[in-house]
């Protein structure tokens, strides 16, 4: 403590301890500021179309085209430790071989609180297909709107903002759209 350098050393050593405590307190505060927003997921139409598989043009592959409406007010999720939200629509179903599948068919990154009031109507942005190449004999699917809260400091937390009210069956395969 006698010279400037030793004072810098001493004060910054304790500063780092204080900073760690501050960051820990900030990350723990996320557990107090929990909210569970609600939203609606409505599926307006599903079509299953048989097409050629990518890379193997001789094989057939069923593709599902899901049109949906999303409404959710996620503004309560934006507190001081929320950097951004990752929103995604997940289809959950059991395929003909009894495998439970969870497929992300749409997603969005919400960076600002002003953009967190979600009203979206559209179709799946990612190809929705089954590894068994067909949706025939698949069980009905649930569509769930889920989110990740990405914090500035602390743990990534998962949540669910909405779900279809009833399971929706896959329609019969069409040969063309």
Partner 1 sequence: MSSIQDLTEGRIDFAGQVMVDNISRVALIVSTFIAFCIGFGLQDIRATFAFMAVAIVGLAAVVLPPWPMLNQNPVKWLPVKHKGSVEKKL
Q: Which residues contact partner 1 (rule: CB under 8 A)?
A: 1-5, 7-8, 10-11, 14-15, 18-19, 21-22, 25-26, 29, 79-81, 152-153
Please, which residue, 56 or 152, has the CB nearer to partner 1?
Answer: 152
Please, which residue, 24 or 109, has the CB nearer to partner 1?
Answer: 24
Q: Is the CB of residue 117 less than 8 Å from the CB of residue 86?
A: no
Q: How far is the CB of 85 from partner 1 (least distance, A)?
A: 16
Q: How far is the CB of 159 from partner 1 (least distance, A)?
A: 19
Helix-strand-coil split of the chain, %, nearest 5? 20, 45, 35
Q: How far is the CB of 132 from partner 1 (least distance, A)?
A: 47
Would you tell me how many other CB atoms lie within 10 Å of the CB of residue 16?
A: 10
Q: How far is the CB of 71 from partner 1 (least distance, A)?
A: 25
Q: How far is the CB of 73 from partner 1 (least distance, A)?
A: 17
Please, which residue, 54 or 111, has the CB nearer to partner 1?
Answer: 111
Please, which residue, 154 or 159, has the CB nearer to partner 1?
Answer: 154
Distance CA 52, CA 63 (A): 9
User: What are the structure tokens assigned to 113, written together?
Assistant: 């609180």
Please, which residue, 151 or 162, has the CB nearer to partner 1?
Answer: 151
Got the DSSP string for 135-174?
A: -TTPPPBEEEEEEEEEESSS--EEEEEEE-SS-BPPPPEE
User: What are the structure tokens assigned to 30, written together?
Assistant: 């996320």
């Amino acid at each position: 403590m006698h010279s400037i350098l030793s004072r810098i050393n001493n004060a910054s050593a304790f500063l780092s301890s204080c900073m760690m405590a501050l960051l820990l307190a900030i990350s723990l505060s996320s557990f107090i500021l929990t909210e569970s927003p609600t939203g609606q997921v409505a599926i307006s139409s599903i079509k299953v179309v048989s097409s050629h598989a990518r890379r193997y043009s001789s094989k057939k592959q069923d593709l599902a085209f899901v049109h949906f409406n999303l409404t959710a007010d996620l503004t309560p999720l934006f507190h001081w430790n929320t950097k951004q939200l990752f929103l995604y629509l997940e289809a959950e179903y059991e395929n003909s071989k009894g495998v439970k599948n969870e497929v992300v068919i749409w997603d969005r990154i919400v960076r600002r609180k002003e953009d967190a009031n979600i009203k979206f109507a559209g179709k799946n942005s990612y190809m929705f297909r089954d590894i068994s190449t067909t949706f025939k004999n698949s069980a009905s699917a649930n569509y769930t709107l889920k989110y990740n809260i990405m914090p500035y400091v602390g743990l990534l937390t998962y949540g669910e903002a909405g779900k279809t009210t009833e399971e929706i069956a896959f329609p019969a395969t069409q040969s063309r759209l």
